[in-house]
Amino acid sequence: MEEITRKKGYICDMDGVIYHGNQLLDGAAAFVDWLKKEDKQFLFLTNSSERSPRELRQKLQRLGIDVEESHFYTSALATASFLSLQSPGCSAYVIGEPGLVNALYDAGITMNDVNPDYVVVGDTRNYNFENIQRAVRFIFKGAKLVGTNPDCTNPLETGMAPATGALVSPIEITTGKKAYFVGKPNPLMMRTGLKLLNCKSEDTAIIGDRMDTDIIAGIESEIDTVLVLSGVSDVHTPSLFPYRPKYILDTVGDIIQN
């Protein structure tokens, strides 16, 4: 644990690491208290696109953890930044929640349900045949398909729920077009995370519950990786992949147990 706790900066996932839905996970509050007490640099880098940093802060406050908005960066913000750089002033048809819509608005991207430049899909509970059909029609007319993140599942206190990767799939299959995913493990999001953290990769650890997003993102960014088994992964999951995390822990709280 000493090698992990010597790090200056920490990139930490949220779903499956800090909470499941509205349930705080064991050790999460103590870990965040330790980060603040030790004056560590830390960033919650989440593939969730539903909520803004302000809403994420409020959610943690309801769970008994208080951190400033500057400690959050979401796939919605990353997607908005990507589109604004690729095509300034573009328009989008969005299947997603207010956190994604507002991030796009703030980046100068307008909503368009007639002839959008992009179809953007994020985590949402408002998913139906009509918006799938519209998305398919726009893509056949030339719109580009972008997903906020490739996660297919989202851990909740009641079990697993479909996430963006699963919601994008019917559109990909129907149109024959593959989505471009902006969230982890995309290096764009990881580079932004390191810049916001203001730490070098060798001084940073990434903590997550997913081998195919958090852990591979850390490996490809030369950041030490910590897999926690409090989310979608269990002790057998690493054996299913051709790469391994540097550390495997039951919960994020185990980092500060010794």
Tens of pLDDT, residues 90-128: 999 999 999 999 999 999 999 999 999 999 999 999 999
Residue 155 has pLDDT above 80, yes or no: no
Provide the 8-state DSSP code for 15: B
- Other CB atoms within 10 A of residue 61 CB: 11
Nearest to 210 by CA among 17, 10, 2: 17
* Pairing label, strands 159-162, 153-156: antiparallel
Q: In this model, does residue 212 exceed pLDDT 90?
A: yes
Class of domain 77-179: alpha beta
Does the structure show a pLDDT above 80 at 157? no
Could you give the CA distance from residue 34 to residue 52 in angstroms, rounded to a whole number?
25
pTM, to two decimals: 0.93
Asked if 247 contacts 188 with a C-beta cutoff of 8 angstroms, the reply is no
Identify the band that residue 258 occupies on the pLDDT scale cut at 50, 70 and 90.
low
All structural domains of the chain with their residue ranges: 1-46+183-257, 77-179
Interval 60-89 mean pLDDT: 97
pLDDT tens across 84-95, in order?
999 999 999 999
* Secondary structure letter of residue 254 according to DSSP: G
What CATH class is the domain 1-46+183-257? alpha beta
Indicate the average pLDDT of the chain.
95
Active site residues: 13, 15
